[in-house]
């Protein structure tokens, strides 16, 4: 009896509540925004072959604390206010962006911003510095 009364109260409460609290914020249904710039991902094995090569630039888009723990040799700390000054003059130069790991999207945001400036050699390494370290690859410290 007590259980049936509780179900009745819950049912009545749900019927009385206004129907404006649905997921999606109450706006009209629309397709998800399409990203017009698609990433050119790079795996760690391929990235490792590019480390130290002339004309290849690695950009670490992590926090300063994570940067201080170690970064890919030769990588440039990208998380600065005037990041555009760090970019090479050659818009076709190979640039590899990475952050912490696959759950971090900072390198995707940075890579997309650079691509919007007309750079064509932009690559993004999803495994990030954690994947790099876990695989036993060499790192540098500031």
Question: Is 71 among the domain residues?
Answer: yes
> Is there a domain that residue 91 lies in?
yes
> Is residue 39 domain-resident?
no
Q: Regarding predicted confidence, which is higher, 45 or 21?
A: 45
Per DSSP bridges, beta strands 76-77 and 122-124 are unpaired
pLDDT for the residue numbered 106: 95
CA dihedral sign, ordered 89, 91, 96, 99? positive
Whole-number percent of the chain with pLDDT over 70: 75
Whether 106 maps to a domain, the answer reads: yes
Confidence of residue 21 (pLDDT cuts 50, 70, 90): very low
The count of structural domains within the chain is 1
> What does the DSSP assignment read for 80-115?
STTGGGGS-S-TTSEEEEE-SSTT--HHHHHHHHHH
Banded model confidence at residue 73, pLDDT cuts 50, 70, 90:
very high
Question: Is residue 68 one of the residues assigned to a domain?
Answer: yes
Whichever domain contains 93, its CATH number is 3.40.250.10
Note whether residue 7 is domain-resident. no
Is 37 within the bounds of a domain?
Answer: no
Host domain of residue 79: 47-135
Give pLDDT, residue 112: 94
The answer to whether residue 97 sits within a structural domain is yes
For residue 3, is pLDDT > 80? no
Instruction: Please give the helix or strand (H or E) that residue 59 lies within, else none.
Output: strand 56-60
Residue 93 pLDDT exceeds 70: yes
How far apart (Å, rounded) are the C-alpha atoms in residues 37 and 113? 10
């Amino acid at each position: 009896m007590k259980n049936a009364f509780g179900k009745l109260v819950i049912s009545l409460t749900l019927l009385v509540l206004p129907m404006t609290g649905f997921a999606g914020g109450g706006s009209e249904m629309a397709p998800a925004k399409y990203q017009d710039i698609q990433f050119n991902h790079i795996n760690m094995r391929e990235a490792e072959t590019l480390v130290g090569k002339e004309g290849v630039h690695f950009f670490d888009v992590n926090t300063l604390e994570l940067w201080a723990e170690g970064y890919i040799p030769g990588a440039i700390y990208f998380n600065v206010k005037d990041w555009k000054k760090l970019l090479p003059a050659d818009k076709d130069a190979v640039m590899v962006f990475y952050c912490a790991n696959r759950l971090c999207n900072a390198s995707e945001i940075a890579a997309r911003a650079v691509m919007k400036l007309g750079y064509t050699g932009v690559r993004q390494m999803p495994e990030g510095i954690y994947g790099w370290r876990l695989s036993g690859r060499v790192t540098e410290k500031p």
